[in-house]
């Protein structure tokens, strides 16, 4: 009797544990998905990294070749929900040295002289069918290129235009709305501290206020990624416009760049206004995006960056998942000309093995610093791998 009873207890215990065990799945490109047995929580973990190699040469007399190799990005991306699908979260730390570096200047002091490990840590509350509220540190849809995930780029890296005008991650609140199905309007409001991410000191100056609206006149499509993987059978278009005001900003580019100080170490401030408009188009493998921006500062003479810029990028995805792409970008200083001007000309090719999570990319082009009048020839190669 005992010989029969003991195995039955073990079998019942294994069955009970299996029933209480979370549901786990793994698929390359889609990450690890874990759902609690009682459906009280869900987590999706994606891991990706980007080894990159670059060579460049200034096209001036005596200019020499220089080379660089390293892991440009390596990140963990946690998304999911807790308690209810209406309460979602996003946590993203990074591990690659180029993104973690911190120095000993005033900017590093504001960041506590620490490596900037944390990118995102925010909660999203879907409190209404048309609205959601984000609270915490998170990227913003201030522009399409700026909101583009680091692993999902059409070329090896983002543009010089984005480096100047991107609305950096910050800590605060974002209210996002969406109306319509065939004709979609997405209004957005953002209120943040205005100093950027991972700041450990008290708020330096005022706050940052942003308003943006996006219009999709031909219905919903993936306007976040550049490449048209779905080969949209009908033309798709998204148009966005952003107005941003950083009150008493302390950094060169509103909430990015160096903190500016005077000779006595006192922090300098300026009101900074930025206007940006951009668009994304996709149709049958063809993709294109364009953006225009202008930034003015009340005290540009103190070193705050004032500039206007334009960026145009496009690509075509062949049936064999090779894509050819190009970029032309312009950044022109205005006002005190504290910002560096640039022109960017790039052509590139990508081979998508499994979409953006597994691909090989290369590009070559000319980067001209219009402030120093030096043009640099640049070649880059990278692999993006993730699950």
Question: Does 117 fall in a domain?
Answer: no
Predicted pLDDT at 12: 43
**What average pLDDT score do residues 159-169 get?**
90
- The larger pLDDT score, comparing residue 37 to residue 317, is at 317
Confidence check: pLDDT of 9 > 70: no
Question: Does 189 fall in a domain?
Answer: yes
Which of 165, 164, 166, 133 has its CA nearest to residue 148?
A: 166
CA angle in degrees (0–180, nearest 5) for 20-26-27 = 150
Question: Does 159 fall in a domain?
Answer: yes
Helices (H) and strands (E) in the chain, counts: 5, 18
Q: What is the pLDDT of residues 65-83, one digit of tens each?
A: 999 999 999 999 999 999 9
Confidence check: pLDDT of 112 > 60: no
- The larger pLDDT score, comparing residue 153 to residue 141, is at 153
Question: Does 361 fall in a domain?
Answer: yes
**What average pLDDT score do residues 187-198 get?**
91
Q: In Å, what is the CA distance from 161 to each residue of 209, 229, 270? A: 21, 25, 22
Q: Report d(CA 228, CA 317) in Å as an integer.
A: 7
pLDDT band at 113 (very low <50, low <70, confident <90, very high): low
Predicted pLDDT at 273: 96
Question: Does 24 fall in a domain?
Answer: no
pLDDT band at 86 (very low <50, low <70, confident <90, very high): very high
pLDDT band at 22 (very low <50, low <70, confident <90, very high): confident
CA angle in degrees (0–180, nearest 5) for 143-148-151 = 165
pLDDT band at 202 (very low <50, low <70, confident <90, very high): confident
Predicted pLDDT at 336: 67
Predicted pLDDT at 254: 87
Predicted pLDDT at 5: 42
CA-based torsion, 217, 125, 228, 350: positive or negative: positive
Residues facing 297 on adjacent strands? 272
Domains contained in the chain, number: 1
Q: What is the pLDDT of residues 235-285, one digit of tens each?
A: 999 999 999 999 999 888 888 888 888 888 788 999 999 999 999 999 999
Which of 65, 157, 150 has its CA nearest to residue 362?
A: 157
From the CA atom positions of the chain, what is the Rg in Å?
24
Confidence check: pLDDT of 99 > 50: yes
**What average pLDDT score do residues 311-318 get?**
97
Average pLDDT, the chain: 89
Place of tokens 């993006």: 384
**What average pLDDT score do residues 114-127 get?**
87
Q: Could you give phi then psi for residue 373, rounded to 5 degrees?
A: 60, 35
Confidence check: pLDDT of 15 > 50: no
Q: Report d(CA 249, CA 52) in Å as an integer.
A: 34
pLDDT band at 105 (very low <50, low <70, confident <90, very high): low
Q: Which domain holds residue 231?
A: 47-74+153-386
| CATH number (domain holding residue 348) | 2.40.160.10
Question: Does 7 fall in a domain?
Answer: no
Question: Does 142 fall in a domain?
Answer: no
Q: What is the pLDDT of residues 283-296, one digit of tens each?
A: 999 999 999 999 99
Confidence check: pLDDT of 383 > 80: yes
Question: Could you write out the DSSP letters of every residue in 26-81?
Answer: EETTTEEEEE-TTSSEEEEEEEEEEEEEEEEEESSTT---EEEEEEEEEEEEEEEE
Q: Report d(CA 88, CA 97) in Å as an integer.
A: 29
Confidence check: pLDDT of 309 > 60: yes
Q: What percent of the chain has pLDDT over 70?
A: 90
Q: Report d(CA 322, CA 353) in Å as an integer.
A: 9
Predicted pLDDT at 150: 86
Q: Report d(CA 373, CA 363) in Å as an integer.
A: 22
Question: Does 345 fall in a domain?
Answer: yes
The continuous run of DSSP H or E covering 82 comes out as strand 66-82
């Amino acid at each position: 009797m005992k010989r029969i009873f003991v195995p039955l207890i073990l079998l019942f215990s294994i069955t009970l544990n299996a029933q209480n065990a979370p549901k786990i799945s793994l698929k390359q490109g889609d990450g690890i998905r874990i759902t609690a047995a009682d459906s009280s929580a869900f987590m999706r973990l994606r891991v990706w990294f980007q080894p990159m190699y670059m060579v460049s040469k200034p096209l001036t007399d005596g200019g020499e070749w220089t080379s660089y190799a390293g892991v440009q990005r390596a990140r963990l991306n946690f998304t999911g929900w807790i308690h209810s699908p209406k309460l979602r979260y996003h946590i993203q730390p990074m591990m690659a040295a180029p993104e973690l570096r911190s120095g000993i200047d005033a900017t590093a002091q504001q960041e506590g002289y620490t490596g900037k490990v944390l990118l995102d840590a925010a909660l999203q509350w879907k409190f209404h069918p048309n609205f959601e509220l984000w609270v915490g540190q998170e990227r913003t849809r201030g522009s399409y290129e700026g909101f583009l995930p680091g692993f999902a780029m059409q070329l090896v890296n983002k543009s010089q235009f984005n480096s100047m005008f991107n609305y950096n991650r910050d800590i605060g609140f974002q209210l996002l709305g969406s109306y319509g199905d065939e004709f979609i309007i997405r209004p957005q409001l953002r209120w943040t501290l205005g100093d950027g991410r991972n700041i450990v000191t008290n708020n330096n100056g005022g706050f940052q206020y942003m308003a943006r609206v996006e219009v999709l006149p031909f219905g919903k499509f993936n306007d976040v990624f550049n490449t048209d993987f779905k080969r949209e059978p009908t033309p798709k278009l998204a148009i966005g416009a952003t107005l941003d005001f950083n009150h008493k900003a302390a950094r060169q580019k509103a909430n990015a760049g160096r903190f500016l100080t005077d000779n006595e170490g006192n922090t300098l401030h300026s009101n900074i206004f930025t206007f940006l408009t951009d668009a994304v188009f996709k149709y049958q493998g063809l993709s294109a995006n364009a953006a225009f921006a202008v930034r003015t500062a009340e005290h540009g003479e103190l070193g705050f960056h004032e500039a206007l810029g334009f960026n145009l990028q496009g690509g075509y995805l062949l049936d064999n998942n090779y894509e050819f792409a190009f970029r032309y970008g312009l950044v022109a200083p205005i006002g005190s000309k504290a910002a560096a001007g640039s022109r960017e000309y790039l052509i590139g090719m990508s081979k998508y093995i499994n979409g953006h999570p597994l691909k090989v990319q290369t590009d070559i082009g000319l980067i001209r610093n219009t402030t120093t009048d030096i043009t640099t020839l640049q070649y880059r190669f990278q692999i993006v791998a993730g699950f």
